[in-house]
Amino acid sequence: MMSPTGNRTVEQPIVALHGVHKSFGSLEVLKGIDIDVMKGEVVCIIGPSGSGKSTLIRTINGLTPVSKGSVKVEGIEVHDAKLDKLALRRKVGIVFQQYNLFPHRTVLQNVMMAPLLVLRENRTEVEERARALLAKVKLKDKENAYPAELSGGQQQRVAIARSLCMRPDVMLFDEVTAALDPETVKEVLVTIRDLAMDGMTCMLVTHEMGFAREISDRVYFTDAGRIVESGPPSQIFETPQDPRTQEFLSKVL
Amino acid sequence: MTPNWTVSRLTWRAPVLAAGLCVLATLAAMAQDGSTGRPSALATLITWMPFILKGFGLNLVMSVLAMALATVSGVILGFMQISPVTLIRLPAKLVTNLFRNSPWLVILFAIMFLVPFQITLPGGDKVMVPDWLKATFGFSLPVMANVSEILRGAVASIPSGQWESAESLAFTRGQTLRHIILPQCIRRMLPPWMNWYALLTLMTPMAAILGVNEALGNTQAAMEAAGSRPEFLIPFYLFLMTIFFVVIYPISICTRRLEKRFATGS
């Protein structure tokens, strides 16, 4: 329905995966994944548990090394031994299922830490940006709270603000609502939707089918380490072609 | 409610128990004081108290010095244990396990006889190494190994998600350790560290075996000098136990309180 309009005229994909394989010992988790994401696009990856979705998204910022194939972010090969990790990680932000906020720092400090310590940016500028981001995720009044004092949904929104404060070009979301109480899922999804509307390139691994359908430009259905089917959400959710997609959707919808 | 009650009761008990031990020592001394002409056991004890307390001062000096040495070297060793470089990690693991799993007295004897009694400085001056200093070094080794293990364990207990999110925010390994992992480790390390200090202090009388003039050695010397009467044994040793108790018990209460606080607060 409401598809965020990204700038689709740029020719080069911002994220490009080609023939990505990943094995953990003898277990092959990814068996040749190809995905191109254009700037401003919102891409959702759906599929049954254990289909390699999280592994897939973690290869994009280099947290999980690939066994074979190529992952490029803005033309930089992620799995190059000579990779400048700092350059990559300023470009790609990631939010995890378990928030992973730093419990010994306040909300504001959590958001400011990386730009201050890693990018060595000016404190006043970072603080201004951090406050603006906290206002954006509607947590302005919580800046001096510690993570343990917040609800799961609030912590997850802080985690999003923390990632954004590095000014990434791509945001990855790894099942960010899976650990949340149902009543706080919505506030996190609204935050992500606002982000997507602002034109941020987003890749989401999610089990929120309604949200995937509403927000995505393109949906990938994965099963057993392969992309079974991909296309615009209307096609995947209304007229899925592959029997595995049909079966999965009939279970979750 | 319950934890508070337990803690306050323990706190209240400590001085009472300590005082009780002192009274017991006094009573024991008086009860055995049947003879005439000779000074009573209690009077003898009071005469020799400064001498024993002076020895106890050395126990405290040894424990503080050994703990300082053990903390610095143990933290370095602990960092080496978590190094990604095998060449650094393996020797550190070896040293840690060697000193954690050896009897203290054996380490103490080894140090006593392996470290020379005098050292020639680069300038050519010869410096005597006093026995108590050697003993201090000997005590610091097993504690060092345990501090190393406390650090390694604390770092390992931090959820891997902390490392992952730090890595994703472009923190280097060193930055992650310094700004994210270690600040969370210190509170986890404090109670076991204090516990090891208490244990270390309780072990310092072992130095008496090696001829160091600390509290136990001085107590025995005092009893001998006063005529080795059997009625000395109970008051003198009770007094010795009491002074250790008075120092150590508050530490163990404090440790227990910290543990409780860290267990409830996240």
pLDDT in tens, B207-249: 998 888 889 999 999 988 888 888 888 888 999 999 999 999 9
Query: Of the candidates B2, B63, B19, B39, which has an alpha carbon nearest to the alpha carbon of residue B204?
Result: B63
Tell me, yes or no, if A61 comes closer than 8 A to chain B by beta carbon.
yes
Chain B residues whose CB is inside 8 A of the A89 CB are: 167-170
Instruction: Tell me the C-alpha distance between B25 and B237, whole Å.
Output: 9
The pLDDT value recorded for residue A248 is: 92
pLDDT in tens, B70-94: 999 999 999 999 999 999 999 999 9
Classify each residue of B209-222 as buried b or exposed e, where b means 16 or more C-beta atoms within 10 Å of its C-beta: ebebbbbbbbbbbb
Confidence of residue A154 (pLDDT cuts 50, 70, 90): very high
Instruction: Tell me the C-alpha distance between A11 and A238, whole Å.
Output: 29
The pLDDT value recorded for residue A22 is: 94
Does residue B182 register a pLDDT over 90?
yes
Measure in Å the smallest separation between the Cα of B159 and chain A Cα atoms.
Answer: 9
Among A67-71, B47-51, B176-180, B230-234, which stretch is predicted with the lowest mean pLDDT? B230-234
Measure in Å the smallest separation between the Cα of B177 and chain A Cα atoms.
Answer: 12
pLDDT in tens, A13-35: 999 999 999 999 999 999 999 99
Q: Which CATH code, of 1.10.3720.10, 1.20.81.30, 3.40.980.10, 1.50.10.10, is assigned to B48-265?
A: 1.10.3720.10
The pLDDT value recorded for residue A1 is: 44
Instruction: Tell me the C-alpha distance between A15 and B188, whole Å.
Output: 41
Per-position DSSP letters for B74-140, written without gaps between them: HHHHHHHHT-S-HHHHHHHHHHHHHHHTS-HHHHHHHHHHHS-SEEE-TTS-EEE--HHHHHHHHHH
Give the mean pLDDT of chain A: 91
Tell me, yes or no, if A224 comes closer than 8 A to chain B by beta carbon.
no
Confidence of residue B265 (pLDDT cuts 50, 70, 90): low
The pLDDT value recorded for residue B4 is: 42
Which helix or strand (DSSP H or E) is residue A21 part of? strand A15-24
Flag if A96 and B164 touch (Cβ within 8 Å): yes
Q: Which amino acid is at A214?
A: E
Instruction: Tell me the C-alpha distance between B265 and A104, whole Å.
Output: 12
Best A98, A162, A173, A203 member to test B by mutation, with max B CBs in 10 Å, is A98
Domain boundaries, chain B: 48-265
Query: Of the candidates B198, B236, B234, B230, which has an alpha carbon nearest to the alpha carbon of residue B217?
Result: B236
Measure in Å the smallest separation between the Cα of A119 and chain B Cα atoms.
Answer: 9
